Amino acid sequence: MVLKEEHRLLIALQDLDIMIREVKDKATADEFKSLGFKMEGLDELLKAREELAGKIPIDLLNRYEKLAEHYSVAILPVTGDMCLGCFVKLPTSFFSDAYKHELQTCENCGRLLYIP
């Protein structure tokens, strides 16, 4: 994967958001605790999120956060020639070398996509 650094940071932010949701969801957190796992560092995760978000250009971050309000996973890798969020076929131009380091937008659902 040869994505631009700001796009890599955004992807890492999404992984972190997924974990934060897992910790905040009481039912899931309780299941982990019942298995013996500690789930105690939410503040630390939120701090890490703040630091990471601070390194991402604000317009890109805003775009992601708006999408994340609608979709549990706002950024997705492309497999085959489809958006795995809405399963609509992507145009040929999507796979142009000119965009291979970029997050691109699915024209149908708006999710951010990248070629892994």
Partner 1 sequence: MEPTKLTTFFKENLCIFNLRSHKKLSALREMVKHLAKEKMISDEEFIMEMLKHRESLGSTGLGNGVAFPHGRSIAIKNLTVLFARSANGVDFDALDEKPTKIFFLILAPSDSGAETYLSLLSELISIMQKPKKLKKLYEVRDFESLMEVLGG
Binding footprint of partner 1 on the chain (CB under 8 A)? 1, 8, 11-12, 14-16, 18-19, 22-23, 25, 28, 31-32, 35-42, 44-45, 48, 72-73, 75-77, 79, 84, 116
CB of 34 to partner 1, least distance (A): 9
Alpha-carbon distance 69 to 86, whole Å?
16
CB of 22 to partner 1, least distance (A): 5
Kindly give the pairing relationship between strand 112-114 and strand 75-77. Answer: parallel
Which residues are within 8 A (CB) of 5 and not within 5 positions of it... i.e. 6 or more apart? none
Name which of 44 and 69 has its Cβ closer to partner 1.
44
Name which of 44 and 97 has its Cβ closer to partner 1.
44
Which residues are within 8 A (CB) of 109 and not within 5 positions of it... i.e. 6 or more apart? 71, 83, 85, 86, 88
CB of 4 to partner 1, least distance (A): 14
Q: Judge contact between 84 and 76, C-beta under 8 A.
A: yes
CB of 5 to partner 1, least distance (A): 11
